[in-house]
Amino acid sequence: MAKNRVAPIKGMTLPQLELMAAVLGARLGRDLLDELELERVVYWSDSQIVIHWLSSEKQQNKFIKNRRKEINDLTGSKHWRYVPTHCNSADLQTRGISAEEFQDNRLWFHGPPWITQPQSWPVWKECDTAVLSAIEDTGNENCSETAKDKGMEPTSNMADIVQIERFNSYLKLLRVTAYVVRFVNNLLKREDKGK
């Protein structure tokens, strides 16, 4: 079974497009469960943002909330797993490989070596990605030092400074975030020299 979609004309961010891909996967999974009378399907995504949205109980905007509800109704959030990008066989075709590389590609034809051993499946933790801190303050002190631990008064998080939903390009988001971080570091250096 194959399915494809064209990105909508209305501008969407990459995380929103990945969430739409998860909706499509959930619908296909429901059809497979019904037709093949399977007991369970495990869904995989290499988008840490989508995995976070599906597992989070925090209030999200209407677009995310509606899609998350549909996905959870179809699949349940516990059936979604994270696959590291370098192990994602679907990325081989979207990133382009030659016919010779494709013909002998073990990842494409057999999947990652750990796929048949559930005890070896990768485990995703919220603190594994820096991108999530740009989306929202997760409040998980185990993932990183808090501002109070560093002797600073917390004033805002990256989401207050860089509005991630305004970017439709991941590279542009990274570039702008890097400029903001560099600017803040330069200000801190000036402050240290002044003391």
Which sequence spans correspond to the domains of the chain?
Answer: 14-127, 131-194
CA-based nearest residue to 17, from 124, 9, 40: 9
Distance set, CA 142 to CA 18, 94, 154 (Å): 27, 35, 17
The CA distance from 55 to 50, in Å, is 9
* pLDDT computed for residue 5 by the predictor: 65
Phi, psi dihedral angles at 44 (to 5 degrees): -120, 140
Q: Which of 188, 173, 182 is nearest to 130 (CA)?
A: 173
The model's pLDDT over 39-51, given as tens digits with 9 standing for 90+, comes to: 888 898 888 888 8
User: What pLDDT was estimated at residue 185?
Assistant: 79
To which residue do tokens 């979604």 refer? 80
Q: Is the pLDDT of residue 67 over 90?
A: yes
* SS3 assignment, position 11: coil
DSSP 75-129: T-GGGEEE--GGG-THHHHHH---HHHHHT-HHHHH--TTTT-GGGS----GGG-
Q: In this predicted model, what pLDDT tens digit does every residue of 157-174 receive, in sequence order?
A: 666 677 777 777 777 888
